[in-house]
Amino acid sequence: MALQPTQAPSPKGYEVGTAAGDSFSAKKLLFATGVTDQMYNIQGFADCWGITALHCPYCHGYEIRNKAIGVMANGDLAYELCKLHSNWTKKLMLFTNGKSTLNKAQTDALYNNNIAIIETEISAIAHTNGYMQHIELADGSIQKVDALYSKIAFKQHCELPEQLGCSLDEYGYIAIDVFQKTTVNGIYAAGDNTTMFRSVAFSIAAGNKAGAVINKELIDDAWA
Ligand SMILES: Cc1cc2nc3c(=O)[nH]c(=O)nc-3n(C[C@H](O)[C@H](O)[C@H](O)COP(=O)(O)OP(=O)(O)OC[C@H]3O[C@@H](n4cnc5c(N)ncnc54)[C@H](O)[C@@H]3O)c2cc1C
């Protein structure tokens, strides 16, 4: 079911139509529509996504502790990610996927922590049903890794908040205040579409808060 706006917001609220042809009206709207991750154009990456091509050590770190882990990133981000993931394994290597942009101090620190820096571009990820076997590099060599972390681009899953005038922040999340209110009166957002701290617990808590705030405002609006 995909939400489609059937008419512009009026003082009474919003008319919302679904792709299935249903429609209903609402004085307030809460978007809990998540984000869509944008896969790297590397053969095998999308197949491994969420299994061994990973983004979050707080979600997956324990499952792959002590395994051979790669980090695909460059520059300051690469340095920070290597530090973060070093907490989970001593078999860590960095794939800068092109010439390294780490500074000398960062490079020295990685070598001092036995983290190899591989600059050769990644050409493919060999896997079995999403379980990584090795990484293939552009020079024909291979590197054995069990999992590869990277920061992945995303876009809003649903464009309706923007179409209704809600502002996004500099990172592409829906801008909200502490009460989950967007920049448009009567429209709220909660969950992954609003924050880089993406987790089930965080999303549920945000939805909980939005529900309470919306309920309070509906009562206030109806109070004679
Ligand atoms: C690979 C991976 C592993 C993760 N592992 C963990 C983990 O171990 N622990 C953890 O806490 N978190 C984990 N997360 C994060 C967690 O999945 C999210 O934080 C959480 O699902 C966000 O919930 P949400 O409701 O905000 O968004 P979503 O779960 O993305 O739900 C949004 C829903 O809105 C629907 N939608 C969007 N647009 C429309 C529309 N126009 N009409 C109708 N429906 C629409 C979507 O189809 C979707 O069903 C992981 C994420 C990924 C990608």
**pLDDT of 160-206, one tens digit each?**
999 999 999 999 999 999 999 999 999 999 999 999 999 999 999 99
Residue at 1 is within a domain: no
Ligand 1 touching residue 206 (CB < 6 A): no
Q: Ligand 1, closest atom to CA 160?
A: 41
pLDDT at 13: 79
Residue at 2 is within a domain: no
Ligand 1 pocket test: pick from 157, 159, 195, 209 the residue with the most ligand atoms within 8 Å of its Cβ.
Answer: 157
Model confidence at 9, pLDDT cuts 50, 70, 90, reads low
Q: Give yes or no: residues 67 and 144 share one domain.
A: yes
CATH code, domain carrying 100: 3.50.50.60
For the chain, the straight-line distance linking the first and the last C-alpha, in angstroms and rounded, comes to: 36
**Residue bearing the CA closest to ligand 1, atom 49:** 33
pLDDT(5) > 80 = no
pLDDT at 16: 86
| Strand partners for 21 | none
- The model's pTM: 0.89
Distance 16 CA to ligand 1 centre (A): 22
Ligand 1 pocket test: pick from 18, 192, 195 the residue with the most ligand atoms within 8 Å of its Cβ.
Answer: 192
Q: Give yes or no: residues 177 and 87 share one domain.
A: no
pLDDT(6) > 90 = no
Q: Give yes or no: residues 187 and 136 share one domain.
A: no
Distance 36 CA to ligand 1 centre (A): 9
C-alpha–C-alpha distance, residues 168 and 48, integer Å: 30
Cα distances (Å, whole numbers) of residue 119 to 48, 72, 105, 156? 22, 10, 17, 32
Count structural domains, the chain.
Answer: 2
Q: 24: which 2 tokens?
A: 């209903």
Distance 29 CA to ligand 1 centre (A): 18
Q: Ligand 1, closest atom to CA 54?
A: 1
Residue 105 is part of which domain span? 45-150
Residue at 11 is within a domain: no
Ligand 1 touching residue 204 (CB < 6 A): no
Q: Give yes or no: residues 79 and 120 share one domain.
A: yes
C-alpha of 200 from chain center: 12
Which of 150, 173, 206 lies at the terminal end of a domain, its last residue? Answer: 150
Q: Give yes or no: residues 165 and 112 share one domain.
A: no
pLDDT at 8: 52
Tell me if 28 sits within 8 A of 214, measured CB to CB. Answer: yes
Give, in degrees to the nearest 5, the angle at Cα 12 between 10 and 13.
70
pLDDT at 2: 55
Q: Give yes or no: residues 172 and 204 share one domain.
A: yes
For the purposes of burial, counting CB atoms within 10 Å of the CB of 44, is it exposed (0-12), middle (13-18) or buried (19 or more)? buried
Model confidence at 105, pLDDT cuts 50, 70, 90, reads very high
Average pLDDT of the segment spanning 57-80: 96
Cβ neighbours for 47, distance < 8 A, ≥ 6 positions apart: 125, 127, 130
Q: 158: which 2 tokens?
A: 């649903």
Q: Give yes or no: residues 131 and 103 share one domain.
A: yes
Q: Give yes or no: residues 157 and 214 share one domain.
A: yes
Q: 215: which 2 tokens?
A: 């309920």
Task: Tell which phi-psi region holds residue 114, choosing left (phi > 0), alpha (psi between -120 and 50) or beta.
Answer: left
Return the closest-CA partner of residue 133 out of 123, 120, 143, 141: 143
Ligand 1 touching residue 34 (CB < 6 A): yes
C-alpha–C-alpha distance, residues 31 and 188, integer Å: 6
55 residue type, one letter: H
Q: Give yes or no: residues 32 and 50 share one domain.
A: no
Residue at 4 is within a domain: no
Q: What is the pLDDT of residues 120-154, one digit of tens each?
A: 999 999 999 999 999 999 999 999 999 999 999 99
**Residue bearing the CA closest to ligand 1, atom 8:** 59
Average pLDDT of the segment spanning 82-108: 97
Q: Give yes or no: residues 110 and 138 share one domain.
A: yes
Cβ neighbours for 136, distance < 8 A, ≥ 6 positions apart: 122, 123, 124, 125, 126, 142
